[in-house]
């Protein structure tokens, strides 16, 4: 009850943030205008539309997740609303979980809105529904859930500005998992050790990107369902670990 | 009577990383607040009042010492269910209406429906918030209305113990008087109130006991009647020969004379018997001996200045 009350309050608060709403409106506008960009490559207008739609959802989702993830806890401290919340019979873990869930519900609502418009535009343009695209939207959401958990973890000890750059840069590095993996077998021992640490410690965000496969039907993934389920389970477990760490840090934090 | 709050040697130190110095916000504080008591916690800005309250609520952690709230250790969830807090200059989620904010806090206290709605209605009536404003977003509320919501959220759980930090600061005289009356009523209901305030006339009117802290240290504590009890006495006498006046003046400092009467406006209580002896020895007659009661403000200023306050 307490966690969900905090999550609901956070969702309502986040859905009123102008910056998040502007991002959503711009993203929805770009997705809706997607068909008009098809003229750039008439033969592959479908590819352009799909690439652009999935890319817009990813970039807007990324910004919405980071901006909400870095704000949800520091805003409570800054506005001092945290005093009236934590002086009530609220466990600190309930607070952190409530804030995380509220942030993730926000991201879900916004990605879902973009996904619905994207699928609608695609169906209107191609005269048939493309359920495959849902997989891309779904994996983007779980990728963002993992990123959100990371931003919440950092927000328990870092300032929002530091958190923004930390979360953003780790997202970029985590998306280059193929590069860091190849460096783990480098001949140079220092490079090898550093690459191993980076590869195993930073979430593997790159694994969630199946846009290439969805855009180009000739690219295949062996056992796609298992791949998607594995990534979702990975996102849930990694997020849980990050939230446990966030709770441990926040439990000792003075507000 | 059991102690609602018990504090033993409570100390809070902060490390100033840049200057590599330690700042002691609360220094070896000892005090007890009994159940059902309205207790005033006085001190200048930065004296350590809010730090003490935040430690008692488990928002920050003591460096040394121990304390209990309603017989439970600091931060205990069971105790928190029976405690409430109104911070200084409170800020609530301004996109929510007064009703919705109270609904949110009611949920944090795990109060189910329909009990929650009944309590919200009751506390909004108790704090005399205009019903037209109940469903309006808080961003349109005045300072006084916001403070009423603050008190309402502190009453939603029908608490045994309330921590009120400057509940009447910055209010217009009418809102001020109304909120003071609400606090008086809360006290009359048998709830324990821990009131931190700079409004000393309010404290004098509302509280039974007060403590004064300065630079984190407890300087004085006791019933207001004892703290304000007169140390100075006014004496009036008549029929005294002129020669004695100088003697009285050197003993008491100031003596006023008019129409055959003398008035010693404020002499120390321990000099009263000497004055009476001198007056009687000079064949004079004592008309009145009036002990001067000090205001709480005078007690506060004297206590803090004596402790080196500037």
Residue A198 Cα distances to A173, B81, B174, angstroms:
8, 45, 63
pLDDT above 80 for A218: no
CA distance A8 to B96: 12
Concatenate the DSSP letters of all residues of chain B into one string. --EEEEEEEEEEEEEETTTTEEEEEEEEEEEEEETT-EEEEEE-TTSSHHHHHHHHTTSS--SEEEEEETTEETT-HHHHTTEEEE-SS----TTSBHHHHHHHHHHHTTPPTTHHHHHHHHHHHHTT--GGGTTSBGGG--HHHHHHHHHHHHHTT--SEEEEESTTTT--HHHHHHHHHHHHHHHHTT-EEEEE-S-HHHHHHH-SEEEEEETTEEEEEEEHHHHTS-SEEEEEEES--HHHHHHHHHHHS--EEETTEEEEEEEEGGGHHHHHHHHHHTT-EEEEEEEEPPPHHHHHHHHHHHTT--
User: What is the value of pTM for the model shown?
Assistant: 0.87
The label of the residue with tokens 């958990």 reads A149
Taking the C-alpha atoms of residue A244 and residue B125, their distance in angstroms, rounded to an integer, is 42
Between B22 and B291, residue with greater pLDDT:
B22
Tens digits of residue pLDDT in A48-102: 888 899 999 999 999 999 999 999 999 999 989 999 999 999 999 999 999 999 9
- Tens digit of each residue's pLDDT (9 = 90 or more) over A162-198: 999 999 999 999 998 888 888 888 888 888 888 888 8
- Residue contact B59–A2, C-beta within 8 A: no
Asked which of A117-126, A136-145, B45-54, B249-258 is least confident by mean pLDDT, the reply is: B249-258
Rounded Cα distance, B211 and B41, in Å: 5
In chain B, what residues touch A97 (CB-CB under 8 Å)? Answer: none
Q: Which positions in chain A have a beta carbon within 8 angstroms of at least one beta carbon in chain B?
A: 1-2, 5-6, 9, 12-13, 16, 79-81, 83-91, 254-255
Only one residue has tokens 């504590």, namely: B221
- ipTM above threshold 0.90: no
Per CB-CB distance under 8 Å, the chain B contacts of A88 are: 80, 84, 105, 108-109, 157
pLDDT 10s digits, B115-148: 999 999 999 999 999 999 999 999 999 988 999 9
Residue from A12, A82, A87, A102 to probe the interface with B (highest B Cβ count within 10 Å): A87
- Minimal CA–CA distance to A172: which of A135, A217, A209? A209
From the list A237, A255, A62, the residue with the least C-alpha distance to A155 is: A255
- pLDDT at B268 (0 to 100): 80
Closest CB to A91 among B77, B85, B96:
B77
């Amino acid at each position: 009850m307490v966690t969900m009350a905090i999550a609901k309050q956070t969702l309502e608060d986040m859905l009123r943030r102008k910056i998040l709403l502007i991002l959503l409106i711009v993203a929805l506008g770009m997705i809706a205008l997607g068909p008009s960009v098809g003229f750039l490559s008439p033969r592959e207008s479908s590819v352009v539309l799909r690439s652009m739609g999935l890319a817009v959802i990813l970039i807007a989702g990324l910004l919405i997740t980071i901006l909400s993830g870095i704000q949800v806890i520091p805003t409570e401290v800054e506005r001092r609303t945290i005093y009236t919340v934590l002086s009530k019979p609220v466990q600190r873990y309930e607070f952190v979980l409530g804030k995380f869930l509220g942030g993730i519900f926000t991201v879900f609502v916004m990605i879902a809105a973009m996904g619905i418009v994207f699928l609608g535009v695609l169906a209107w343009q191609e005269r048939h529904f493309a359920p495959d695209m849902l997989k891309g939207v779904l994996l983007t959401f779980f990728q963002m859930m993992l990123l959100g958990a990371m931003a919440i973890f950092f927000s328990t000890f870092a300032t929002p500005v530091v958190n923004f750059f930390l979360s953003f840069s780790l997202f970029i590095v985590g998306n280059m998992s193929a590069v860091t993996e190849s460096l783990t077998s480098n001949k140079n021992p220092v490079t090898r050790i550093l690459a191993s640490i980076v590869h195993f410690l930073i979430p593997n965000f790159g694994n969630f990107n199946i846009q290439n496969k969805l855009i180009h039907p000739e690219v295949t993934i062996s056992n796609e369902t298992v791949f998607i389920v594995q990534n979702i389970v990975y996102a849930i477990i990694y997020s849980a670990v990050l939230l446990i760490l966030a709770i441990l840090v926040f439990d000792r934090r003075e507000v | 009577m059991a102690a609602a709050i018990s504090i033993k040697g409570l100390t809070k130190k902060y490390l100033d990383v840049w200057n590599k110095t330690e700042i002691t916000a609360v220094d070896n504080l000892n005090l007890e607040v009994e159940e059902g008591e309205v207790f005033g916690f006085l001190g200048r800005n930065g004296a350590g009042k809010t730090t003490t309250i935040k430690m008692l609520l488990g928002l920050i952690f003591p460096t040394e010492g121990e304390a209990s709230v309603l017989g439970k250790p600091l931060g205990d969830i069971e105790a928190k269910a029976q405690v409430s807090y109104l911070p200084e200059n409170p800020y609530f989620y301004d996109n929510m209406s007064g009703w919705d904010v109270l609904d949110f806090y009611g949920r944090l206290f795990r109060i189910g429906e329909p009990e929650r709605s009944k309590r919200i209605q009751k506390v909004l009536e108790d704090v005399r918030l205009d019903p037209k404003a109940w469903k309006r977003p808080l961003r349109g509320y005045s300072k006084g209305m916001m403070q009423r919501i603050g008190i309402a959220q502190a009453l939603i759980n029908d608490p045994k113990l309330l921590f009120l930090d400057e509940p009447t600061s910055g209010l217009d005289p009418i809102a001020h008087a109304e909120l003071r009356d609400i606090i008086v009523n809360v006290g009359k209901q048998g709830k324990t109130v821990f009131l931190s305030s700079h409004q000393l006339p309010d404290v004098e009117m509302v509280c039974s006991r007060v403590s004064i802290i300065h630079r984190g240290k407890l300087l004085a504590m006791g019933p207001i009647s004892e703290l304000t009890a007169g140390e100075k006495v006014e004496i009036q006498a008549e029929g005294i020969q002129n020669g004695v006046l100088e003697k009285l003046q050197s003993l008491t400092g100031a003596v006023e004379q008019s129409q055959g009467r003398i008035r010693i406006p404020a002499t120390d209580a321990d000099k009263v018997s000497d004055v009476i002896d001198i007056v009687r020895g000079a064949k004079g007659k004592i008309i009145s001996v009036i002990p001067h009661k000090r205001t709480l403000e005078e007690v506060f200023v004297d206590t803090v200045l004596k402790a080196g306050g500037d």
